[in-house]
Amino acid sequence: MQLHADFSQRVVIDSQDLPWVDSPMPGVQRQMLERDGAEVARATSIVRYAPDRHFSAHTHGGGEEFLVLEGVFSDEQGDYPAGTYVRNPVGSTHTPFSKDGCTILVKLWQMQPEDQQRVAIDTTQTPWIPGLVKGLQVMPLHAFGTEQVALVKWAPGTQFQLHRHWGGEEIFVLDGVFEDEFGFYPQGTWLRNPNGSRHTPFSREGCLIYVKTGHLPTFSAALVHSGNS
């Protein structure tokens, strides 16, 4: 399956418009944002666990990154309430479940094998630092090579300067409304801006966003998949 697998293309998805698709495990459903592969795939998804549901034990051949949006996600290493950011590196194994149900933003098969740091951060207890412009606060979550991951909080009326995304940018709007000269992105919107793209973001009402930069391939996954690199 290929869904938004061409990294040279800009993608904007309002997840509230997406259907929930059943996974192989009863009570676990997904909203697919991007995917390149079958059940084992490079993928970005929103995953919803019904109460008292679990996923079978599995190994993360390409690593796993997730942010808990609602409820409490769990595995044998602990419980992760809403606001927890976790990275399970390439080769890690776990058996996830949720006692009361949860919703998480998940990225699979998108880590470099050398990045072996496991990360578990409760963002509700982590301090913010000042951003580059007035009204902006940043919470760094992870960095490896050119990849940078953070939460960014925008006060109402905050404006950022025009800038270019070397290595691309992904944004998931967690709260409020994020904007730029190309559109208006309410809570639940996922954006992927390709390598070399430019924009001038702002937020009139304020927002909270998850941001990842510098991590996108500079080629089309769809072309590689077809053998035409």
- State the pLDDT confidence band at 40, using cuts at 50, 70 and 90: confident
pLDDT in tens, 95-119: 999 999 999 999 999 999 999 999 9
Q: Name, in order, each residue with C-beta under 8 angstroms of 191's C-beta and a sequence gap of 6 or more.
A: 10, 11, 12, 13, 169, 170, 171, 172, 185
The range of the structural domain enclosing residue 92 comes to: 2-122
Average pLDDT, rounded, for the chain: 93
Q: Do 87 and 168 fall into the same domain?
A: no
Q: What is the DSSP string of 81-140?
A: ETTEEEEE-TT-EE--EESS-EEEEEEES-S-TT----EEEETTSSPPEE-SSTTEEEEE
pLDDT in tens, 49-62: 999 998 888 898 99
- State the pLDDT confidence band at 36, using cuts at 50, 70 and 90: very high
Separation CA 171–CA 12 (nearest Å): 10
For residue 151, how far is the Cα from the chain centroid? 11
Q: Do 34 and 107 fall into the same domain?
A: yes
Helices within 37-87 (DSSP H only) = none
Q: Do 199 and 142 fall into the same domain?
A: yes
Classify residue 11: in a domain, yes or no: yes
The pair of structure tokens assigned to 104 is 């998480």
Classify residue 224: in a domain, yes or no: no
Residue 228 pLDDT > 80, yes or no?
no
- State the pLDDT confidence band at 185, using cuts at 50, 70 and 90: very high
- For residue 95, the tally of other CB atoms under 10 A from its CB is 13
Mean pLDDT of 41-54: 94
Which residue has tokens 């409760």? 122
Give pTM, 2 decimals: 0.93
